[in-house]
Amino acid sequence: MKIKTKLGKGLSVFIAVLVFAAALAACSTSENNQSTGQSTSVSQDSKTSDKAGGESESTQPSTESVKKGADTENKAQAKQPEELPEVDANYKSADIKVGVLKGPTSLGMLKLMDGAENDALANKYTVILSSNVEEAGPKLLNGEVDIMAAPVNMGAVLANKSGGKVQMLAINTLGVLYIGAKGEDIKSVADLKGKTIYTSGKGGTPEYVLKYILTKNGIDPDKDVTIEWKSEHTEVISTIAGMDKAVVMCPEPFMTVAKNTVEGFDEALDLTKEWDKVSDGNKLITAGLFVRTDFAKEHPEQIKRFLQEYKYSTQWVNANIAEAAKLAQKYDIVKEPVALKAIPKCNITYIDGKEMAELTKAYLEILYSYNPQSVGTEVPGDAFFFIP
């Protein structure tokens, strides 16, 4: 497998992805080197910021110190996936370029990447890693990638702006947002009233998710709390590091990094659970898989097989966290010690078909109610969803 990687420096090398904020500005970046191997390519082609400082042995948990916990999580987390069905003798393999953002959206693909490297899959895959959400979208539209894992509202924007040239294949990540606190007693959403919340993602889905949950709990987000917006989550972490008291909203794996680097800081609320309490059955959806409509029409059987292989990969990652964490570091997505703790909290999933369409429409309707531009001015219709 050919591996071409531009490595960023510092903390955000392994955490810099604002997974579900398509409207966020690009992170500032620094580049490093490039390396190559042999068959399918995994490339990272954007840069990342190191505002929160460089990583070190002292600020990261050791692999061994959390591996036992990860193995325990494995046993309770998920069953091992069933073996993939064999392909028909007449099946024609396709070369498929897959774009992913570093972070939760790419963690579900780890086993697929491993299988591609070992030439163990029906299709040939080139996986292209990016840290910048703004550069990923154009690559799908211009054909640099055929399939993309990206924020779900970003997929809707691309479909609307391109006149239907993008379709959604599946939901691959549910909620990854958490409230964390240092020196504050936060046990419920009600406890956030009167607090200052440090976060990033203004104008993106983090803002709308936070405001939705606060409003549903009787808290006016404009009057009852103060929201301090930072340019990126690494800045949030560095800001609160020297504070005695602070409340933060950030996604995984940033939450895990903050717990490991900021003394006295811990997770307080899982916003996916809080969303579920007030959303009338509507899921909090972070990201999904998207395909160029023309590519899907030309390769329906290969897309079907890709979805089988991807679903297997997500199930394997959830059931084999320790092994998946090794792959996360191998493919420069996130450091192994962080991945061991973060993967169980990233809500990696696979939902396709009519359920995908129903859940996505309901979620996008909520985003639309806050800002129509967040979904590309309108919620996409049935044609947006690829349902074999």
Contact 288, 155 (CB under 8 A): yes
DSSP structural state of residue 385:
B
Question: Alpha carbon of 378 to those of 157, 171, 383, 386: distances in Å?
Answer: 9, 19, 13, 18
Percent of the chain topping pLDDT 90: 70
Residue 71 pLDDT exceeds 70: no
With both helix axes pointing from N to C terminus, report the angle between 353-370 and 205-216 in degrees, rounded to the nearest 10. Answer: 80
Q: What is the pLDDT, as a whole number, of residue 9?
A: 31
Q: How confident is the model at residue 38 (pLDDT cuts 50, 70, 90)?
A: very low
pLDDT tens digits, one per residue of 236-248:
999 999 999 999 9
pLDDT tens digits, one per residue of 78-115:
789 999 999 988 999 999 999 998 888 899 999 999 99
DSSP structural state of residue 114:
H
Chain mean position to CA 3: 21
Q: b vs e for 48-79, b when ≥16 Cβ sit within 10 Å of the residue's Cβ? A: bbbbbeebeeeebbebeebbeebeebbeeebe
> Which pTM does this prediction carry?
0.80
The closest alpha carbon to 172, from 21, 313, 74, 329, belongs to 313
Contact 14, 338 (CB under 8 A): yes
Residues 6+ apart with CB under 8 A from 81: 311, 312, 315, 316, 319
Question: Alpha carbon of 273 to those of 95, 103, 277: distances in Å?
Answer: 39, 21, 6
Average confidence (pLDDT) over 193-218? 94
pLDDT tens digits, one per residue of 302-333:
999 999 999 999 999 999 999 999 999 999 99
The rounded distance, in Å, linking the Cα atoms of 328 and 335 is 7
Residue 259 pLDDT exceeds 50: yes
**Strand 95-101 and strand 246-251: pairing?**
unpaired
pLDDT tens digits, one per residue of 130-162:
877 777 888 999 999 999 999 999 999 999 999
Mean pLDDT of the chain: 83
User: Which of 127-141, 157-171, 206-220, 339-353 is the least confident region?
Assistant: 127-141
User: Domains (ranges, CATH) in the chain?
Assistant: 3-175+284-384 (3.40.190.10), 177-278 (3.40.190.10)
